[in-house]
Amino acid sequence: MYRFIAFGHSHIVAFAKGAYEYQASDLTGEAPRIEGRFVYLYDPFYNPVLQGPLEAPQLNPKLSAQLTELPWDFVVLVCGGNEHNVLGIVRNKRPFDFVLSSEPDLPLQPGHELVPEALIREVLKYYMADSLQTMRTFRAATELPVTQLQLDAGKPDGPR
């Protein structure tokens, strides 16, 4: 039996759904059993999630208590995940595109202004700063193994 506690933003709902479906499925004798608790970080009960000075934030004591309440085997974080929407879904007044260095042959949008990949990276870093600080603070608050899940929205022409 693997016992875990998961903390997250909106995407934690999808992770919890998958875990519940796994628990309810007909597992073979070799399949590991799981027991999980899911904590929604937008719940007013746990806000603010981080407290104290910006240079050394601490978890909300109610979240710290959740971390130590049971003998968990590991912690799962499902923090953030929508930051890319500000670039990918929201239409910019100046339509843009960029060359992805890892896949430079991807087609570009005709008529869009070409911007440096580094600019896109910096904008994402800015929008992800709060989520990254939350992840670092959880990591510092426990000696348990911690993993961050990033749910994939799929590919436009592929499976979701």
121-139: burial string, b at 16+ Cβ within 10 Å, e else: eeeeeebbeebeebbebbe
User: What total number of domains does the chain contain?
Assistant: 1
Give the 3-state secondary structure of residue 78: strand
Kindly tell me if the per-residue pLDDT of 29 is higher than 90: no
Give the mean pLDDT of the chain.
89
Kindly tell me if the per-residue pLDDT of 17 is higher than 60: yes
Kindly tell me if the per-residue pLDDT of 126 is higher than 70: yes
pLDDT (0 to 100) of residue 89: 74
pLDDT (0 to 100) of residue 153: 55
Kindly tell me if the per-residue pLDDT of 2 is higher than 70: yes
Tens-digit pLDDT profile for residues 61-106 = 999 999 999 999 999 999 987 777 777 777 788 889 999 999 999 9
pTM: 0.81
Helices (H) and strands (E) in the chain, counts: 4, 8
Q: What letter represents residue 27's amino acid? A: L
Residue 157 forms part of a structural domain: no
Give the domain range for residue 85.
2-148
Residue 154 forms part of a structural domain: no
Residue 72 forms part of a structural domain: yes
Tens-digit pLDDT profile for residues 32-58 = 999 999 999 999 999 999 999 988 999
Give the 3-state secondary structure of residue 158: coil
Residue 26: exposed, middle, or buried by beta-carbon count in 10 A (0-12, 13-18, 19+)? exposed
Residue 96 forms part of a structural domain: yes
Tell me the backbone φ, ψ of residue 24, rounded to 5 degrees: -85, -10
Residue 155 forms part of a structural domain: no
> Which pairs count as long-range contacts for 139-143, CB under 8 Å and 24+ apart, including other chains?
141/58, 141/59, 141/63, 141/64, 141/67, 142/67, 142/75
Residue 153 forms part of a structural domain: no
pLDDT (0 to 100) of residue 133: 95
Our CA angle for 39, 43, 48, nearest 5°, is 100
pLDDT (0 to 100) of residue 60: 97
Torsion 10-11-16-17 (CA) sign: positive
Residue 159 forms part of a structural domain: no
Residue 81 forms part of a structural domain: yes
Kindly tell me if the per-residue pLDDT of 160 is higher than 50: no
